[in-house]
Structure 1
Amino acid sequence: MQDSGAKWKRITGLSSLEGQWLRRKHFTAEVLAQIGEHIRLSEQSHTGELMLAVEAVSPEHEPDSRMRALEVFGRLRVWDTPLNTGVLLYLALDRHSIQIIADRGIAAADDLWEQVSDRLQSRLQQKDYAAGVLAAVDDIEKILATRCPPVSGPQGNTNDLPNEPVLL
């Protein structure tokens, strides 16, 4: 539920400006490269695939962040892995929203994803963006390591999705 301050920011357009400012300040090319490399290295021990999408300004056509995350999940083809083990970590900076969408091949309870989101939300509120996202990647990778163990053979630990974060 949005508080009145968040609603006021959205109506005046300040949330869009804030989202763009947060993306430029906290998601520099260096930070994005560091996150991408962190994802690449962490995916070597299991068959899960993680993608990070950072959206500075959410589109008006979808006011619900969860539904927008599902849309991004489909558009980025996170679902398109051989074992259905893709995960999207979606950040809507203007809405201060974090969503984690996991494909059907990952049998993890919703509360595990909520714990990751809550910890990341706390870090973001403390303006600890880069370290917070890296910690969230580690948290997600721990879940994937237990839910998507390595597989030998042709479907082994292939890298089916890009590791570099996507800026929307």
Structure 2
Amino acid sequence: MARLSLKRFLRHRMWDEDDARRVLPAEALVRLQQRVAESEMRHTGEIRVCVEASLPLSYLWRDAPARERAITMFAKLRVWDTELNNGVLIYLLLADHRIEIVADRAAARRIDAGHWQQLVDTMRDAFRAGHFEQGLSDAIAAVDAMLVTHFPRDASTASPRPNELPDEPLLG
């Protein structure tokens, strides 16, 4: 069983939703929501952005990694439940400075893991410079490009596909 790290525990208790709102104010969230909505007009995938200030206590007690929480949020936000199995979650955990990309089955099969890692590295550079909105906006653009390549929207269909998931980023 993993041990609770006091240093990690204190770091997570110092971060709260106000800190998340400080790095991504309401205006930035609206712009990111618009980026997701515009992106989803170009492909059949779904993009969700989730930014959490810290982990719940139950995760800290088990010393759970950010990846575990990202996978939980992937399920909780129903990104896994899209009709074409090509949803992508962009997850940011502020207290641990962790970025996770979770892609559904179809997207994971078609898009090489190296592309996701490259995206994470680019985001990390932006976040280190304090450019959270720009880093997430660039990430949305990169995911958009991958989804357009592998899951383009079929212009010949009479009715567009429904938007299966909310476009606004989840902040917690």
Same fold (TM over 0.5): yes
1:153 deviates by: 4.1
Regions of 4+ moved over 3 Å: 18-22, 151-157
Deviations 1:26-53 (A, max 9, x none): 1111110110011101111110110000
Between the aligned partners of 1:147 and 1:60, the Cα distance in structure 2 is 38
1:74-89 aligned within 5 A:
74-89=75-90
User: Counterpart of 2:98?
Assistant: 97
- Which runs of 5 or more structure 1 residues have no equivalent in the other structure? 1-6
1:154 deviates by: 8.0
Contact 1:82 1:155 in 2 (8 A): no
Q: Residue 34 of structure 1: which of 31, 56, 60 is its match?
A: 31
Q: Secondary structure at the match of 2:73?
A: helix
Instruction: Give 1:23's aligned amino acid.
Output: A
Change (3 A) 1:55 1:149: same
- Which runs of 5 or more structure 2 residues have no equivalent in the other structure? none
Percent of aligned pairs sharing the same letter: 34
1:157 deviates by: 3.5
Please provide the CA RMSD for this pair: 1.9
Deviations 1:61-112 (A, max 9, x none): 2321111111100011011111111100000111110000000111111110
Contact 1:91 1:99 in 2 (8 A): yes
Q: Secondary structure at the match of 1:161?
A: coil
In the alignment, structure 1 residue 66 sits paired with structure 2 residue 63? no
In the alignment, structure 1 residue 23 sits paired with structure 2 residue 23? no
Q: Secondary structure at the match of 2:79?
A: coil
TM-score (ref. length: structure 2): 0.86
1:8 deviates by: 6.2
Q: Secondary structure at the match of 1:58?
A: coil
Q: Secondary structure at the match of 2:41?
A: helix
Instruction: Give 2:20's aligned amino acid.
Output: R
Contact 1:45 1:157 in 2 (8 A): no
TM-score (ref. length: structure 1): 0.88
1:85-164 aligned within 5 A:
85-106=86-107, 107-151=110-154, 152-153=156-157, 156-164=160-168
In the alignment, structure 1 residue 48 sits paired with structure 2 residue 45? yes
Between the aligned partners of 1:155 and 1:90, the Cα distance in structure 2 is 31
Between the aligned partners of 1:38 and 1:32, the Cα distance in structure 2 is 10
Between the aligned partners of 1:160 and 1:133, the Cα distance in structure 2 is 21
